Structure 1
Amino acid sequence: MGDGMVGPDLQDLPRRKRRRLLLRALLRPLLTTVGLVTAYYLIPMDKPYGAATVLGLVLGLLAVSALLVWQTRSVSRSPYPRLRAVEALAAVFPSLILLFATSYFLLERSQSGSFTESLSRTDAVYFTVTVFSTVGFGDIAPRTGVARTTVVFQMLADVLLIGVIAHVMLEAVRRGLDRRVRPGGPQPDAGLPSSDRPGDPADDDPGPSA
Structure 2
Amino acid sequence: MTWAVLRPAATVGVLLLVYYRLPMDQPEDAYSVLRLVAALLLVGVVFWWQVRTIGRSALPGWQGAQALALVIPLYLLVFAQACFLMERHQPGSFTVPLDRTDALYFVVTVFATVGFGDITPVSSAARVLLTVQMVLNLLVVGVALKVILAAVRRRSG
2:17 equivalent to 1:30: no
* Paired-residue identity, %: 48
The residue number in structure 2 matching 1:116 is 95
1:137-182 alpha-carbon deviations (Å, 9 max, x no partner):
111000111101100111122111100011101110111012xxxx
The residue number in structure 1 matching 2:35 is 56
Select the structure of larger CA radius of gyration.
Answer: 1
Deviating beyond 4 angstroms after TM superposition, the runs of 4 or more aligned structure 1 residues are none
* Contact 1:97–1:125, Cα closer than 8 Å, also in 2: yes
Task: Give structure 2 stretches of 5+ with no counterpart.
Answer: none
How far apart, in 1, do the equivalents of 2:128 and 2:24 lie? Answer: 21
* Contact 1:101–1:121, Cα closer than 8 Å, also in 2: yes
Counterpart code for 2:151: A
Q: Report the count of equivalent residues.
A: 157
Counterpart code for 1:156: V
Superposition TM-score, scaled by structure 2 size: 0.95
How far apart, in 2, do the equivalents of 1:28 and 1:35 lie? Answer: 10
The residue number in structure 1 matching 2:52 is 73
1:69-88 alpha-carbon deviations (Å, 9 max, x no partner):
11111112212111110011
How far apart, in 1, do the equivalents of 2:39 and 2:108 lie? Answer: 18
Other structure's SS at 1:51 match: coil
Whose helix proportion is higher, 1 or 2?
A: 2
Task: Choose the corresponding residue for 2:80, options 101, 104, 108.
Answer: 101
How far apart, in 2, do the equivalents of 1:152 and 1:175 lie? Answer: 34
Task: Give structure 1 stretches of 5+ with no counterpart.
Answer: 1-21, 179-210
Other structure's SS at 1:40 match: helix
Superposition TM-score, scaled by structure 1 size: 0.72
Of structures 1 and 2, the one scoring higher in RCO (CA 8 A, sep 6+) is 2
1:98-126 alpha-carbon deviations (Å, 9 max, x no partner):
11000000000100110011001100000
Q: CA RMSD in A?
A: 1.2
Counterpart code for 2:77: L
How far apart, in 1, do the equivalents of 2:152 and 2:114 lie? Answer: 30
The residue number in structure 2 matching 1:161 is 140
